[in-house]
Amino acid sequence: MEYYDQVTEAADLIRAAVPEVPTIGVVLGSGLGDFAGSLAKAVSMPYDALPHWPVSRVIGHEGRLVVGTSRNKTIAALAGRCHIYEGHDLKTVTFAVRVLGLLGVKTVILTNAAGGVNTSFSQGALMVIDDHINLMGNNPLVGLNDDRFGPRFPDMTEVYSHRLRAEADRAAAAMGFKLPHGVYAGLLGPSYETPAEIRYLRTIGIDAVGMSTVPEAIVARHMGMKVLGISCITNMAAGVLPQPLNHDEVMETARRVRGQFIALLEGVIGRL
């Protein structure tokens, strides 16, 4: 079966299972999946029950699609994603976003747990992604282009919507805080970066670093979706603090900020 047909089959099954087709998609990063549980009138589907859908095996990625409502909008929330470092190719990694596009989603909010490269950031900060640099060594659009998804050479001048970034700022201001903005670097992983690599990233203008999001953002723009990216700075990157990095710290920080994170998402969604 062709890739487009696989995506279509998954989209058709979801469309038939939910009372209303979502127009907004939210991809939830490590430890940030609680937002899916906050949706009203929810229909929950485990990834392994959806045809051709990849299942993440990473702690903190629950692995279910939840379609429900928030602020009177119908949302498709992906509680967890798969990653290249798990051994998946980029078509597999971006499969879920392709499905969202064929479902009719016009706006996608991509979230992640990230390492803070900018030393002015504090652990637990939420950062709006203004732009990214792809350092994964590959691109999800490599290979024959299927025009049913999008054009051969999509424009990447504004990957992350200026309007959506402004709405995120307004939502944060209504909550009483100011959101930092920055440039996100996508690296392959799964090892954390070395201090020398972090110095290099800081030199080229990176504020946060992670192992996801970039392929999804490229594919979303390829399909004409508007993108908002939000990073939760769950740890400071290697060499910033005199301590080793570990995934438990990522999960603990994500748990600590989940209330603020969910409130911010709800605030943004209410303005769309």
Among 9, 38, 52, 85, the active-site one is: 85
* DSSP secondary structure letters along 38-58: T-EEEEEEEGGGSTT-----S
Among 113, 114, 136, 185, the active-site one is: 113
Among 247, 249, 252, 263, the active-site one is: 247
Among 61, 70, 77, 231, the active-site one is: 61
SS3 259: helix
| Residue 191 a catalytic site member | no
| Residue 212 a catalytic site member | yes
| Residue 61 a catalytic site member | yes
| Residue 235 a catalytic site member | yes
Residue 151 makes CB contacts below 8 A (sequence gap 6+) with 145, 222
Among 47, 70, 79, 83, the active-site one is: 83
> With helix as H, strand as E and coil as C, how does 147-194 read?
CCCCCCCCCCCCCCCHHHHHHHHHHHHHHCCCCCEEEEEEECCCCCCC
- Which phi and psi (to 5°) does residue 135 adopt? -115, 25
The Cα–Cα gap between 269 and 26 comes to: 10
Among 9, 86, 158, 252, the active-site one is: 86
| Residue 86 a catalytic site member | yes
| Residue 52 a catalytic site member | no
Q: Is residue 157 within 8 Å of 132, Cβ to Cβ?
A: no
Angle at 87 between CA 86 and CA 89, to 5 degrees: 120
Among 197, 212, 225, 238, the active-site one is: 212
* DSSP secondary structure letters along 202-247: HHTT-SEEESSSHHHHHHHHHTT-EEEEEEEEEEEPBTTBSS---H
Residues acting as catalytic residues: 30, 61, 83, 85-86, 113, 211-212, 235, 247
